[in-house]
A and B are shown apart, each in its own frame.
Chain A
Amino acid sequence: QSVLTQPPSASGTPGQRVTISCSGSSSNIGSHYVYWYQQLPGTAPKFLIYFNDQRPSGVPDRFSGSKSGTSASLAISGLRSEDEADYYCAAWDDSLSGYVFGTGTKVTVL
């Protein structure tokens, strides 16, 4: 099982704000940057957030990331139907000498 824990699901109505948590430890989130990926149904993952809170070009500013200690969060404001997807956090882990993904959160737009 993953060393980064996310809630299995989150939901909201259009226009609402949804927050997804990612809990880790001192060997991963506590000492390395956090990244977020979006996976729409049936497609490859997409780069969403890097270096904790930076957005690649083309990613709407409705998506924002933050980190505090050994936890991180992804917030989606102004929720839209096209945001319905699986979201994964990730970070390098010193103990494993590898990259680790979170357990994933399915976001549903009601």
Chain B
Amino acid sequence: QMQLVESGGGVVQPGRSLSLSCAASGFSFSNYAMHWVRQAPGKGLEWVTVMSSDGSIRHYADSVKGRFTISRDNSKNTLYLQMNSLGTEDTAVYYCAKDKGRNPTDGLDYWGQGTLVTVSS
């Protein structure tokens, strides 16, 4: 059974950093591109970043470029998101999502349940 479990969310002060993880199981993690998508409270979905299956391709939304870094460890079936210089506008539920293909994108066909990041002083 396919499973994506995000962790690492919490409350952080503006300007600080936070790291999220997404543990994958039930599928061949190394064969698929992976995304992070976020949703601010009461708002719509916002795509954040994607990494190809082999890690050679990365893309970022303009809103996080230069502050967030996506990475993956295929030996541990885990996706990461390093978030630096956080602002209140980064407060959201962060979802990890599997792509249907190796490279971005054939669609996000499976999603985790999300982890809440709250940026507040």
Contact = CB atoms under 8 A, between A and B. Distances in A.
A110 interface: no
Interface stretch (B17-25, B44-52, B67-75): B44-52
B108 A47 contact: yes
B69 to A, nearest CB: 15
Contacts of B45: 37, 39, 45, 88, 90, 101, 104
A104 B44 contact: yes
A88 B44 CA distance: 8
A37 B104 contact: no
A75 to B, nearest CB: 18
B44 A44 contact: no
Interface residues on B, range: 20 to 34
Nearest to A102: B44
Interface stretch (A10-18, A76-84, A91-99): A91-99
Interface residues of A, number: 26
Contact of B95 (A2, A44, A103): A44
B6 to A, nearest CB: 10
Nearest to A32: B105
Contact of A44 (B35, B100, B111): B111
B61 interface: yes
Contacts of A51: 106-107
Contacts of A100: 47
Contacts of B59: 97-99
Contacts of A44: 95, 111-114
B105 A92 contact: yes
Interface of A: 2, 33, 35, 37, 39, 43-47, 50-51, 56, 86, 88, 90, 92, 96-104
Interface of B: 35, 37, 44-47, 50, 59-62, 95, 97, 100, 104-114
21 contacts: A2-B44, A37-B45, A45-B37, A45-B97, A45-B111, A47-B100, A47-B108, A47-B109, A47-B110, A47-B111, A50-B109, A51-B106, A51-B107, A86-B44, A96-B61, A98-B47, A98-B61, A99-B59, A99-B104, A101-B37, A101-B46
